[in-house]
Chain A
């Protein structure tokens, strides 16, 4: 039992956090009576504990609990979309680059290198400035900036996997390239994709919050944690709760998902498998 806690304690904790956030996101309409966009100017800036508003209200009288919960929806939606997109595109390109080492691989990896030389958040911001504001565009910009990690990791894995005996054996048996790639190589690099995805997931959520904080990304009145934090600055002196709760939600989510990612790495990484 002690061994389980030692080995899986972080995973359980992380999964608990992640599950909490997931429940908040999915069940938001059931958990709060208020609509996150519903304003009541006369009831603005009420502190936490106000009847009907457990976390208080913002400057326009919107229920903060509702906004934080619906914010979880936005965060998770963006996170999931970005992870799926980048895993698909980055994973595929990594597979190809690793499997076809010739000029295909070289070109793909040089593109990846160039892109890696820019800081992730700066690149995402730049792309966002080009494609414009809004939910869809923030997903596009984060994905375009984020696929490289998969490509590099997957390529590295493929390079080693494809030299393994079973691959050579399959090749000798006359299997087609596509079948070889997707049937024999892909399953062996899948754990890496899952691990990278779980770590990237949190990074995307935090990056989205950062970009929305700067005023790009998700636009009001859509409740996003980043823009809520940004709006709270003007009220920091009089309403600490505007910054505290979205900030805590963001931290909790990122922590939870990262713990899950770490745990997955430990469990899935063959080197740790006894």
Chain B
């Protein structure tokens, strides 16, 4: 009955926002003691690192666990974190130099054994981690000395550095894991991160405190509390009431109000997360026909959606990758809004638009104005006579339908952080992958298999560019846009959002 809980929370938050009785001292007290409150839509699905692929979970886990390799928030290039440097030894071997003098929260030193243990944990099928298939190309981790490790891959895998730069590899403490076991580590995380675990109250909050022995300058925030508030409007109400200090996804229509509130500011960034409308060919239906997919794309006015529904808060895309993707090619030309062309293509395919009934699956509240966008798309298709039923799903149901291939002819989804080609093109256009909507294209499958193992950076870029064009020509999606992430940030906190959507309070600078 989480929906009921959600209603109650909304009500409570609205009441809190409406009454002047909401304790105004709370926010000031927190500013003095440097305690930051961050609102997330959901609680973590686990506190184990390297286990569940979920943006919300990782955002909290990575306060306690460091990444082996980070990404520079500006250039999106891999940058050192627990690894200080890396090099390619040969086609199937990557070598990483590790940072010295780093300690886990229990005092255990971080070293090569920790990296090996982490890979062994991921590779052990008994642990059932989502990361196992993501690391299937790695055979093993070899220890060279205490602070040098080698990743041995089955085939050449130049994309390894892109995979490792981010949430895919968070080193775990080998001794604690061995002595206490996985369950104990899930209950009380022990990482090398800037914050230490304090308390997790289910369905309410997760609390972490500053790690004074951090290997860099300790964080400014003495304590960070993560609160779980599912709805945009309730999060915004909590922010304006001074109950939380940072929230994501300010609804575009509330931007002005937020800026005039005097309590918080808007911090916006172009996200690496892309939104698209999948035209599903992995199940029988009209979307099997390329001409129909093309016609649908021509019938949808993406610019109008961006301007009118999202109030300009999105950056249009013309192919499967966004310009901030490191493998982006500018070659694919935008498929233009052209209803006449759409009609002609449908006629050619022998489809009468007025008899065509389509179903569109959408989540609600997961991406900026997702449901409104879906309704607007249905309205645009109606203009050329196509009737579209919009099915609004709970988030979990939506993902399950995509995994089980039981969605309608179209579905709305976001994908990110989408910073390298393999992570998008390999993961979303092969029939064998979990979240695919399009596949069974032999030419494309072969080309992807080729591209993944190319070591030469230039040839690799060329191969991915060619693939982007191939994908573009197949119109597996209505290519929509890169999200703009709109954060509300309390006045006393100086923090800039990152394109990879990491809300990492180590980077927050506090007033006074």
Contact = CB atoms under 8 A, between A and B. Distances in A.
Interface stretch (B115-123, B184-192, B249-257, B314-322): B249-257
Contact of A219 (B4, B304, B372, B390): B390
Nearest to A231: B371
B357 interface: no
B14 interface: yes
Given A214-B3, A234-B232, A238-B254, A42 B391 contact: no
A38 B375 CA distance: 11
B510 interface: no
Most buried by B among A37, A38, A221: A221
A41 B3 contact: no
B423 to A, nearest CB: 31
B378 A221 contact: yes
A239 B382 CA distance: 26
Interface in A206-228: 214-215, 219-221
A245 interface: no
A60 B394 contact: no
A41 B376 contact: yes
Contacts of B371: 220, 231
B56 interface: no
B233 A233 contact: yes
Contacts of A37: 379, 382
Interface in B236-263: 236, 251, 253-254, 257
A120 interface: no
B389 interface: yes
A122 B215 CA distance: 52
Nearest to B362: A220
A45 interface: yes
Most buried by A among B253, B305, B391: B253
B254 A237 contact: yes
B239 to A, nearest CB: 12
B332 to A, nearest CB: 26
B253 A41 contact: no
A215 B364 contact: yes
A114 B371 CA distance: 38
B10 interface: yes
Given A214-B3, A234-B233, A41 B390 contact: no
B309 interface: yes
B386 to A, nearest CB: 13
B395 to A, nearest CB: 11
Given A220-B371, A220-B375, A238-B253, A42 B308 contact: yes
Contacts of A19: none
A236 interface: yes
Contacts of A32: none
Interface size class of B (residues with CB under 8 A): 20 to 34
B253 A235 contact: yes
Interface size class of A (residues with CB under 8 A): 20 to 34
A39 B376 contact: yes
Q: Interface SS of chain B: helix, strand, loop or mixed?
A: helix
B379 A219 contact: no
A237 B233 contact: yes
B308 A41 contact: yes
B231 interface: yes
Nearest to B237: A237
B431 interface: no
A59 interface: yes
Contacts of A42: 308
A60 B375 contact: yes
A22 interface: no
Nearest to A61: B308
A60 B372 contact: yes
A39 B253 contact: no
Interface in A46-75: 59-60
Contacts of B399: none
B392 interface: yes
Interface string B374-400: 011011001000000111101000000
A133 interface: yes
B320 to A, nearest CB: 26
Given A59-B253, A234-B251, A41 B304 contact: yes
B222 to A, nearest CB: 32
Contacts of A247: none
Contact of B394 (A215, A220, A233, A238): A215
Interface in B407-463: none
B254 A221 contact: no
Contact of B309 (A60, A214, A234, A238): A60
Interface string A65-87: 00000000000000000000000
Given A236-B14, A238-B253, A39 B233 contact: no
A44 interface: yes
B391 A219 contact: yes
Nearest to B311: A44
A215 B370 CA distance: 14
A221 B390 contact: yes
A237 B234 CA distance: 11
Interface in A246-270: none
Contacts of B308: 41-42, 44
B440 to A, nearest CB: 28
B383 to A, nearest CB: 9
Contacts of B3: 214-215
Nearest to B372: A59
Interface string B357-375: 0000000100000011001
A133 B394 contact: no
Nearest to A43: B308
Most buried by A among B7, B254, B305, B375: B375
Given A234-B251, A238-B253, A219 B376 contact: no
A233 B254 CA distance: 12
Contacts of A219: 389-392
Contacts of A59: 253, 309, 372
30 contacts: A38-B379, A39-B375, A41-B304, A41-B308, A42-B308, A44-B308, A45-B253, A60-B309, A60-B375, A214-B4, A214-B7, A215-B3, A215-B394, A219-B390, A219-B392, A220-B375, A220-B392, A221-B378, A221-B379, A221-B390, A231-B371, A233-B10, A233-B231, A234-B231, A235-B253, A236-B233, A237-B233, A237-B236, A238-B257, A239-B253
Given A215-B3, A219-B389, A221-B378, 16 more contacts: A37-B382, A41-B308, A45-B253, A60-B372, A60-B379, A214-B7, A215-B392, A215-B394, A220-B392, A231-B371, A233-B10, A233-B233, A234-B231, A234-B233, A234-B251, A238-B257
